Structure 1
Amino acid sequence: MGTRIPQDDLSSRSIADPMRAEVPRRLTTEAPQAGKRRGLSRSTRTAFDQLLLLVGDVAIALASYLAAFWLRSNFTFFIFDDVMPAHRIYDVGHYVWLLIPGQVVIFYFFGLYEPLDAFQVRVRLRPIVAAITLETILLAAFYFFLRNVPFPRSIFPIFWLLNCTFIGAFRTLSFLVLVKGRPKKKTIVVGTSTVARNLLKQLSESRMCRLEVVGVLRAPTENTDEHVICGFPVLGDISCAPDIIEELGVDEVMIASPNSWQQDFLPRLMSSSRRSHVSVIPSDYEVLIGRLQDFRISDVPLIEIESALKPTFQLAIKRVADGILSLGLLLALLPVFLLVGLLVKITSRGPVFYKQERIGKAGKPFRIIKFRTMTPDAERATGPVLSNSADSRITTIGRILRKTRLDELPQLLNIIKGEMSFVGPRPERPVFVEEYAQRIPGYPQRFAVLPGITGLAQIHGGYATIPEIKIKYDLGYIQNFSIWLDLFIIMETLKVVLVGDGSR
């Protein structure tokens, strides 16, 4: 496991600076060039895996469903000594479309579309059988209530057996190809303590784990002069981590060191090294910037910190829902648009709409559209400044629009164009993004998703909420995203609109 270096290979070397030490040829030839990545990105590969599993599962389920009808109409089974007339296959076969959404939803809730990773040592057959069993029971219940459609109950055990057998075989083959068939993930371990050495030992001895340790980094609290630990080279200090990660093409960073330095270091590491997953051996430090997922390597527990959203079907559902709802609301609220536009026009001179450059997903700029709530050329004298509830530049009608959030309605156009979503971090102006990115750890992570009309920071914060607090809400939303969380935020926003007590 890993690239191991015999002690005598380095014992004769005089190394003043570990970072400038001669690295064995075997290690350097395996590393990709700086700034380049091997193959598909993690997110693209994960999305491909999930799509492959979904398409395969659905195809097998449909085939099993139709095969069960065909077998029942041509052969006898056990206690079923008669065959089903062929013409009845059509009577019940046209309900086959129910399998597609039904199975996808059930498999999703059983966790069968979670991303495959290097820590999974075997295919998960038990939840597959449980999910198919539930699917079969629900299918039987559905046909039970279709009393006008004669349906032989013997179809269900045949369908269950075929589905379990072939999906189980498909999932096993997929696991061998997608997990076992891929190169091991390059890994560095942070720390030289006893805990770190134990982790290195377990990684070295584990035959199932798909990780290749390429080296060790010293934590700030460690002053060891060792150049090799447990057979792995010490590559330098943790301050060099981003450069080493990029140079060696590291996929996994495992932190096994005392927690006194993690709070300051983790956000910077995750912001500058988005290509890698970060995991820590749990301690008293409560990680606030990532989704926590626990796993185990032998007897060593670790917690994975997700620095970006994993592609899920919920994200696809969110995007489709955004498009449909925004178009529907735009048409339904046309009278409101006309009324608000008229009020803006007759109460103050200037245009009805206000357009401004904001930074969106992946740092791409776009033009946000709002009803104008300030006097024209409001920043001519002050320059770019953040607004507040007592801002004298806000017009009379503008205060009402801001409290009720009606000034945000034109952003439905941004949603239709794919630049925004209903829920997400509020987009900021380039001048503020540049400032916040320099002084707020983890700030660039908010660009992992589409910006939104509303978000956690808007329903919990206020005008006086500082950016350092808002970023915690934004990152909390990103790392805990779900359709249910979006619905909660939308409901809370509607409450704000109805009572007129809004924040921005």
Structure 2
Amino acid sequence: MRGIRGFLARLVDIVLIVGGAIAASHIRFEDLTQIRGDGAFITFSVAFALVAFPAFGLYESWRGRSLLRLAGQVSIAWLVVQASGLVLMFSLHRTDFISRLWFAYWTATAGGALITSRLLVHAVLRSVRYAGLNLRNVAVLGVGVHCREVVNKLMAAPASGFRASAIFDTQPDGGAAPNGVPLFDDFGEFAEHIRGNGVREIWLALPLSEASTTLHFVDEFRNDLVNIRFIPDVRSMALFECSVIDLIGAPAISLVASPLPARAILQKEIFDRVFAALALIALLPLLVMIAVMVKCSSRGPVFFTQYRKGADGRVFKIYKFRTMRPHAEKTGVVTQATKGDPRITRVGALLRRTSLDELPQFFNVLRGEMSVVGPRPHAIEHDEFYQKVINGYIHRYRIKPGITGWAQVNGFRGETDRVEKMQMRVEHDLYYLRNWSFALDMRIVMTTVVKGLVSSNAY
């Protein structure tokens, strides 16, 4: 059956690739007979696709896996096929026969068709699985809460194609088992149930400390044709949600590392530079007016500069409009502004209350030292103190600090005269890191613009 499905999938891909080429010819030449010498290119691409697509795993089961990732894999595989075809045609000196516009139409049309066909197949399978068909039974062996969470996730996602059929909890904590799923406390009975009911999928939801249990279970089923997958419980060690990466050819679980993938960092980088450039252009008259007001308010420079820590602890110089009269501080001491602080000028009080003193930090964003949204940077002296007394404080610097952040739009800004205040700020920063999305960044930016400029806590 699997061989037939694989053959049909390949046949559909061939039809879509050839059909895309014909459609591109019709769009480009408005005549289906105008394929001409491009027929050789189409043949090469079909042959390359039959070789490359399996290498990218496009004909493997995507049960329970990300559709977004599947679309990405299809796109990459198709682009590799087209690039290989171009190289071959160039080597054979046949590029003169190819219309560049036709090639672009073909690549886009066939690529879109290849992705759409797979999404349609998954949509049909999703409906079938919601109806209780085409499901693969899964037996889960685990410990306490983590075991029940894995089973609950299985039951909450029937479209994934998996169904929990048995549970074996090695250390039951009295928690209720999910309804309708048999719960075993005897290993022999659990193993007999797996073999007697044709279960072909076994998930081990165990902590890393249960290595002996894992080895014992794998050894028990070494002669059975079952898939055994390990879903480790690493919550006690991991600060952020764990991910598995390929590291020098070996799978590695990230326990404590940057929670933002490279794709997310690139998105933020592009948004930051564009937003900062547009903001500086739009705000130029306001910046000039504030600079004049600061200069007239008291003696001293227009800008206040101070060293702060950026991403990965790299030190940079932050820019603000000066809001205080020039004064001397003891070496290694930074005194926070307090309510009614005599050092603050009248203009400075207005700037601090409305956060307009932070606007020059768009220059830091443009320089790549800060982000528009992220944990607010603190004075280095404060960093050294708080990272000793607040758990997880230093992980705020896994990403670039921001002009605004989740803590600030939730009211945690201004003076931190008690450790508890800083604790709440750090908790919000870590929440932001765990739950980052581009939509969350946009929400924070809009909240800052609409109601986040004025705060009673800023003075």
- TM score, norm. by length of structure 2: 0.52
Identify if the C-alpha distance between structure 1 residues 231 and 360 changes in structure 2 by more than 3 Å, giving closer, same or farther. Answer: same
- The structure 2 residue matched to 1:385, chosen from 335, 343, 348, is 335
**1:216 maps to which residue?**
209
Q: CA deviation at 1:442?
A: 1.4
Correspondent of 2:325 among 354, 375, 384: 375
1:480 corresponds, among 435, 454, 459, to 435
Kept after mapping to 1: 8 A contact 2:311/2:397: yes
SS in 1 for 2:372: strand
- Measured after TM superposition, the shift of residue 463 of structure 1 is 3.1
Structure 2 alignment gaps of length 5 or more? 1-12, 33-56, 73-107, 122-142, 147-168, 174-183, 217-229, 245-253
User: How many residues are treated as equivalent by the alignment?
Assistant: 298
CA distance 1:474–1:499, change in 2 (3 Å): closer
Q: Distance in 1 between matches of 2:355 and 2:297?
A: 18
Q: 1:366 to 1:194 in 2, by over 3 A?
A: same
Q: Contact 1:358–1:427 (CA<8 Å) still a contact in 2?
A: yes
1:88 aligns with 2:65: no
Structure 1 pair 331–159 and aligned structure 2 pair: CA distance change class (3 A): closer
Give the corresponding residue for 1:449: 399
Indicate whether 1:362 and 2:341 are aligned: no
Taking a change above 3 Å as real, the CA distance of residues 326 and 373 of structure 1, as seen in their structure-2 partners, is: same
Shift of 1:319: 1.6
Higher relative contact order structure (alpha carbons within 8 Å, sequence separation ≥ 6) = 1
Distance 1:86 1:361 in 2: 49
Letter in 2 for 1:321: F
- 2:276 maps to 326
Change (3 A) 1:207 1:444: farther
Provide the C-alpha distance between the structure 1 equivalents of 2:407 and 2:388, rounded to a whole number of angstroms: 20
Structure with max Cα Rg:
2
Structure 2 CA distance for partners of 1:194 and 1:392, relative to 1, 3 Å: same
Q: CA deviation at 1:331?
A: 2.2
Instruction: Tell me if structure 1 keeps the 8 A contact 2:412–2:425.
Output: yes
Give the CA deviation at 1:306: 8.3
C-alpha contact 2:406 2:444 (8 A) present in aligned 1: yes
Aligned residue identity for 1:323: R
* Cα distance change, pair 470–128 in 1 and its aligned pair in 2 (3 A): closer
Q: How far, CA to CA, are the matches of 2:278 and 2:24 in structure 1?
A: 47
* Aligned mates of 1:396, 1:126 — CA distance in 2: 55
Give the aligned residue type for 1:461. F
The answer to whether the Cα contact below 8 Å between 1:353 and 1:369 also exists between their aligned partners in 2 is yes
Q: CA deviation at 1:326?
A: 0.6
Q: Determine if contact 1:421/1:451 at 8 Å carries over to the other structure.
A: yes
TM-score normalized by structure 1?
0.47
Deviation at 1:322, TM superposition (A): 0.9
- Between the aligned partners of 2:171 and 2:453, the Cα distance in structure 1 is 58
Q: Is 1:194 aligned to residue 171 of structure 2?
A: yes
Q: SS at 2:30's partner residue?
A: helix
Task: Call closer, same or farther: CA 1:497–1:166 in 2, change over 3 Å.
Answer: closer
Question: For the structure 1 residues 305 and 329, does the alpha-carbon distance in structure 2 shift closer, same or farther, using more than 3 Å as the test?
Answer: same
User: What amino acid is the match of 2:209?
Assistant: V
* Cα separation, 1, equivalents of 2:68 and 2:334: 56
Contact 2:373–2:444, Cα closer than 8 Å, also in 1: yes
Alignment partner of 1:406 is 2:387: no
In structure 1, which of residues 465, 469, 480 is the aligned counterpart of residue 424 of structure 2? Answer: 469
Contact 1:461 1:503 in 2 (8 A): no
| One-letter amino acid matched to 1:463 | G
SS in 1 for 2:308: strand
User: 2:299 is matched with which residue?
Assistant: 349
Residue 368 (structure 2) pairs with residue 418 (structure 1)? yes
**1:434 aligned onto 2:384:** yes
Could you tell me which residue of structure 2 aligns to residue 186 of structure 1? none
Q: Which amino acid aligns with 1:216?
A: S
- Aligned to 2:233, the other structure's residue is in SS state strand
Q: Is this contact kept in 1: 2:310–2:316, CA < 8 A?
A: yes
Q: Is the 8 A contact 2:208 2:233 kept in 1?
A: no
1:58-457 equivalent positions in 2, closer than 5 A: 67-72=18-23, 84=26, 87-88=29-30, 122-123=62-63, 127=67, 162-163=114-115, 194-195=171-172, 216=209, 254=233, 266=236, 269-270=237-238, 277=242, 308-311=258-261, 313-380=263-330, 383-457=333-407
